């Protein structure tokens, strides 16, 4: 395991009391906390370099541009894209998936074609495809899950057909704690002439991702879940596909030349980045990438795996606790959704908050999944590299205490 204590000191937010108890932050799947190294970069940028990018010749503009484009190169290395032309800055995963649906989808999906997603998708990997299917009179189909919450690959083989144009699946689930075989799905999609889109919101922050090895055609993720700021994210796309795609937004920055009645577009990646971008956010995302790379993504992944090996068996021993996803800790990520029998997840999360523990409750933007699982909502604890076994113990104790409190009518 990595020494979390060494890294925790970089996260001032973790050192506070909530409801008179030391905070245990276990809502990392919603958003991760930011280390001082990232906060300092944001502050430094606004104090010393703030200027608009790609336009000015003055020193500050050159510094801002160099910082922003250097961050793009850091992201390129981080996900092993071939070139920075393939790394588009977005607002986050949602924007990236919408861009693919609006641009690639509109141009390539026709009436009667199929778009294949899975039953475990986040709404941002559902709704853009629903809208595309409606616009094009295409068919949206869902790959089923196994009883343990894995993608049913036999069903994937049946659902991905000659009519399929797009397959879009989460690399890691934000509810079930599973990792999906993106490379295998890409092979299935490519064999039928379809593209593979991966939602990397829950994978890029937690494991080494190599977009070339996965052979994904598109790969979207968010900065804020990987120690970066909100409002910045990345859409990776293969160059030959991006070249053929039309921009989604039009305006400054993305043009080559504007005539009176029409315009031409500049080259990748800027063709997709209309308007003044989130410059500080991009630069700070670069700092987040540096920070995570310094620890090492394999070390982060292993640390979380060790926490799951430690905590999952303890949770499984609690009577009346339903845990979603695989029962084998080796197959479960640090996202653990659960329900306490007879208690509403919101009451559970409130009771946990009273004990200083931040967990989430709700549908986790995955209503089709929850309907499939036949539950209204769940509580969810999600770990990151700065969480410790003590945090895991506090979670287990708090769940047991919550059960007791409600039993005795104390809350
Ligand atoms: N996909 C998954 C699997 C997610 O967990 C999330 C964030 N909860 C998103 C997409 C959307 O990310 P964002 O809100 O940052 O666009």
Contact 35, 291 (CB under 8 A): yes
Which among 1, 358, 365, 375 is annotated as catalytic? 365
CA of 132 to the centre of ligand 1 (A): 19
CA of 101 to the centre of ligand 1 (A): 16
Same domain for 337 and 252? no
The best mutation among 201, 333, 369 to test binding of ligand 1, ranked by most ligand atoms within 8 Å of the C-beta, falls on: 201
DSSP for residue 113: -
Same domain for 235 and 100? yes
Cis geometry, peptide bond prior to residue 269 (ω within 30 degrees of 0): yes
Question: In this structure, is residue 69 part of a structural domain?
Answer: yes
CATH of the domain at 311: 3.90.1150.10
Q: Is residue 98 lining ligand 1, measured as CB closer than 6 Å?
A: no
Q: Is residue 201 lining ligand 1, measured as CB closer than 6 Å?
A: yes
Residue 227 known to be catalytic: no
Question: In this structure, is residue 20 part of a structural domain?
Answer: no
The answer to ipTM > 0.95 is yes
DSSP for residue 27: B
The strand ranges marked E within 203-258 are 218-222, 233-237, 255-258
Tell me the whole-structure pTM to 2 decimals.
0.97
Residue that is last in its domain, among 277, 294, 311: 294
Measured CA to CA in angstroms, residue 197 lies from 19, 118, 129 at distances of: 42, 12, 11
Q: Is residue 174 lining ligand 1, measured as CB closer than 6 Å?
A: yes
Same domain for 361 and 349? yes
Residue that is last in its domain, among 278, 294, 310: 294
Same domain for 253 and 124? yes
Identify the CA nearest to 84 among candidates 106, 66, 69. Answer: 69
Q: Is residue 199 lining ligand 1, measured as CB closer than 6 Å?
A: yes
Question: In this structure, is residue 3 part of a structural domain?
Answer: no
The best mutation among 29, 176, 222 to test binding of ligand 1, ranked by most ligand atoms within 8 Å of the C-beta, falls on: 222
Structure tokens, 303? 């640390």
Tens of each residue's pLDDT in the chain, 411 residues:
888 889 999 999 999 999 999 999 999 999 999 999 999 999 999 999 999 998 778 999 999 999 999 999 999 999 999 999 999 999 999 999 999 999 999 999 999 999 999 999 999 999 999 999 999 999 999 999 999 999 999 999 999 999 999 999 999 999 999 999 999 999 999 999 999 999 999 999 999 999 999 999 999 999 999 999 999 999 999 999 999 999 999 999 999 999 999 999 999 999 999 999 999 999 999 999 999 999 999 999 999 999 999 999 999 999 999 999 999 999 999 999 999 999 999 999 999 999 999 999 999 999 999 999 999 999 999 999 999 999 999 999 999 999 998 886 544
């Amino acid at each position: 395991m990595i020494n979390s204590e060494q890294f925790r000191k970089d996260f001032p937010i973790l050192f506070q009391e909530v409801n008179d108890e030391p905070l245990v932050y276990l809502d990392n799947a919603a958003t991760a906390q930011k280390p001082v190294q990232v906060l300092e970069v944001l502050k430094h940028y606004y104090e010393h370099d703030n200027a608009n990018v790609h336009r000015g010749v003055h020193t500050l503009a050159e510094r801002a541009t160099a910082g922003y484009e250097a961050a793009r190169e850091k992201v390129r290395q981080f996900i092993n894209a071939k070139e920075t032309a393939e790394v588009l800055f977005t607002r986050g995963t949602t924007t990236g998936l919408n861009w693919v649906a609006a641009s690639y989808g509109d141009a390539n999906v026709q009436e009667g074609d199929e778009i294949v997603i899975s039953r475990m998708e986040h709404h941002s990997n559902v709704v853009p495809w629903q809208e595309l299917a409606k616009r094009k009179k295409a068919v949206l189909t869902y790959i089923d899950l196994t009883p343990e919450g894995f993608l049913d690959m036999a069903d994937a083989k049946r659902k991905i057909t000659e009519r399929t144009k797009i397959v879009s699946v989460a690399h890691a689930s934000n509810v079930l704690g599973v990792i999906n075989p993106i490379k295998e799905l890409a092979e299935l999609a490519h064999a039928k002439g379809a593209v593979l889109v991966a939602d990397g919101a829950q994978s890029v922050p937690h494991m080494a991702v190599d977009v070339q090895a996965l052979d994904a055609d598109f790969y979207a993720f968010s900065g804020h879940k990987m120690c970066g700021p909100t409002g910045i994210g990345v859409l990776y796309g293969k160059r030959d596909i991006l070249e053929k795609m039309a921009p989604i937004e039009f305006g400054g920055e993305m043009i080559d030349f504007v005539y009176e009645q029409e315009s031409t577009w500049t080259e990748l990646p800027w063709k997709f980045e209309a308007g003044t971008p989130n410059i500080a956010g991009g630069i700070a995302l670069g700092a987040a990438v540096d920070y995570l790379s310094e620890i090492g993504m394999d070390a982060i992944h292993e640390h979380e795996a060790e926490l799951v090996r430690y905590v999952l068996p303890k949770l499984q021993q609690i009577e009346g606790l339903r845990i979603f996803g695989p029962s084998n800790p080796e197959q479960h990520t640090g996202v653990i959704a659960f329900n306490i029998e007879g208690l509403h997840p919101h009451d559970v999360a409130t009771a946990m908050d009273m004990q200083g523990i931040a967990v989430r409750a709700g549908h986790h933007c995955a209503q089709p999944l929850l309907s499939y699982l036949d539950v209204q909502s769940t509580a969810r604890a999600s770990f990151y590299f700065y969480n410790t076994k003590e945090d895991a113990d506090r979670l287990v104790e708090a769940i047991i205490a919550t059960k007791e409190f409600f039993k005795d009518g104390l809350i």
